[in-house]
Each structure stands twice: as C-alpha cells, then as structure tokens.
Amino acid sequence: MNLKDIIRDYPDYPKKGIIFKDMWPAIEDPDAFEQILSEFEKEFGGKIDTVIGIESRGFIFGAALANRLKISFIPIRKKGKLPGETISRDFELEYGSASIEIKNESLKGKSILIIDDLLATGGTVEAAAKMIEELEGNIISLGFLIELDFLKAREILSKYKVYSILRY
C-alpha cells in the first residue's frame, strides 16, 4: 500500500500558505496503520527501551509502538496538562508558538525514540529533545510518519538520527 495515496492535503489550513497534511485517514484504515507500525518496528525494534510521544498524534504512534515492542511510553504534553513536577520548553511553530512539558523524572540510562506524526520546522521535537537531554536521556532517534523536506528541519536537528516514513 502506498501511504502517500492515503494522506490528504488541505491547502490554506490552519492559515493561508500552509498545506496541511492530514494523516488521520492512515489511522482510520487498519491496514495502513499496521503498515506504519510495522515500518517503525522494523526501524527501531531492539534499539530502544522507551518511546516518548509528542502530543497529540505522537501519542497514537508512540503508545501503539511501545506496546508492540513491550517497552515504556512517556508523553510530552502541552504546558499545564501533566500533574506533578514538570520541566517545559517554549518553541516556535510554522504558524505560531507553543510550550510543551514532560514529567521531571530522570531518564538516565534510557535509550529513547521521540516520535510524532509530522516533522515541519523541527521546533517541537527540538524542544522535546532538549528536555530529554536535560533529564539525561539517550536519544537514539527521532521518528515521524511525515516529513516536510522543504522546511529543512534536518538542518537544525543535525545532531540526531531522523527517520521519516514519508517525505514531501
């Protein structure tokens, strides 16, 4: 199955000039979702012991992959959504700014995959990586369903291994 045939484009969403890549049809289709998880499992199985998913669509792939690999899953959420002590980072998006947080717990000795649905400018995942490094986690790779090559996020993420199933 060609996953690119399932992803839908929405021009000028959420604002003029942006072409939104809608990955939900790939989640709605059980065969497509299975293909995505199989590709992530093939790439990361045996190399990681923790998946960290970025809210919200990173939760879908991250939790499913972690369960499949029988390893732990940790969420990174929008600021103000996690109980207890957290650390946070502000960052710029393609169309605004935001802040994310993670529980303030040691990740020392953990081999980590950070996963999300889309790599655009790299701001979100760069902020996530900085928090994980602050907590002494060992980032093995950054994984995405979709990468928008023209935004050149790999340049700011050059110190990390980046794996994307689909590249546009």
For residue 94, the model assigns a pLDDT of 64
Q: Which one from 39, 43, 55, 94 is the annotated catalytic residue?
A: 94
* Fold of the 37-167 domain: Rossmann fold (3.40.50)
Q: Rounded CA gap, 157 and 123, in Å?
A: 9
Q: Which one from 57, 101, 126, 147 is the annotated catalytic residue?
A: 57
For residue 49, the model assigns a pLDDT of 97
Residue 57 a catalytic site member: yes
Asked if 31 and 5 count as a contact pair (C-beta separation under 8 A), the reply is no
What's the DSSP call for residue 149? G
The pTM (predicted TM-score) of the whole model is: 0.94
Per-residue pLDDT of the chain (168 residues; tens, 9 = 90+): 999 999 999 999 988 988 999 999 999 999 999 999 999 999 999 999 999 999 999 999 999 999 999 999 999 999 999 999 999 999 987 667 899 999 999 999 999 999 999 999 999 999 999 999 999 999 999 999 999 999 999 999 999 999 999 999
For residue 52, give the amino acid letter.
Answer: I
For residue 15, the model assigns a pLDDT of 86
Domain boundaries defined on the chain: 37-167
Q: Rounded CA gap, 19 and 17, in Å?
A: 7
Q: Rounded CA gap, 162 and 114, in Å?
A: 10
